[in-house]
Amino acid sequence: MYKVKVFVTLKESVLDPQGSAVKGSLHRMEYNEVQDVRIGKYLELTIEDSVQDLDKSVREMCEKLLSNPVIEDYRYEVEEVVAK
Amino acid sequence: MYKVKVFVTLKESVLDPQGSAVKGSLHRMEYNEVQDVRIGKYLELTIEDSVQDLDKSVREMCEKLLSNPVIEDYRYEVEEVVAK
């Protein structure tokens, strides 16, 4: 089995209103050292060994469903898990 | 400056309806090799060098605002960024 960790983030040029709201809250809580907050998604996919081409499969899933390529970037890490 | 990457995930024992929905969609798209999907949040905080105790500060922010300790776990990675 593979555990694939996918990180989906807004592109640099795209405004992040959710991140700005969190930054505002942190400042109101006196965490003035926080300069910026950007919020993304983190997904963990568990994928069977039987998959033909893991990288192709993950890239397709990211591009078709998990991210919006117009405004988001994604990257992923693969970990092999030994079944118990 | 520090860049702190925070990962907030649902605890193992907590149901993830959003993850189940994404898994269902992936199966309908014929990605039947996907066994499980769990969805979390990924945050990037940019924090000034002037911070007194970075770890304490990040832990507090995670516990008070960024995660819900009842149902979520968090972990973070710190990267030092050299200002240009």
Over residues B29-35, the mean pLDDT reads 95
Of A9, A25, A48, the CB nearest to B35: A48
In residues, how long is chain A?
84
Determine, for residues A57 and B7 on separate chains, whether the beta-carbon distance falls below 8 Å. no
Going from the C-alpha of B61 to that of each of B18, B55, B57, B72, the distances in angstroms are 25, 10, 6, 14
- Given the cut 0.90, state whether the ipTM is greater than it: no
Q: What are the strands of the beta sheet with B72-80, ordered from one edge?
A: A72-80, A2-10, A34-47, B34-47, B2-10, B72-80
Question: Rounded mean pLDDT of B36-41?
Answer: 96
Q: Which residue, among A65, A52, A72, has the nearest Cα to A7 in the 3D structure?
A: A72
Instruction: List domains and CATH numbers for chain B.
Output: 2-80 (3.30.1280.10)
Question: For residue A5, what pLDDT is reported?
Answer: 96
Percent of chain A with pLDDT over 90: 92
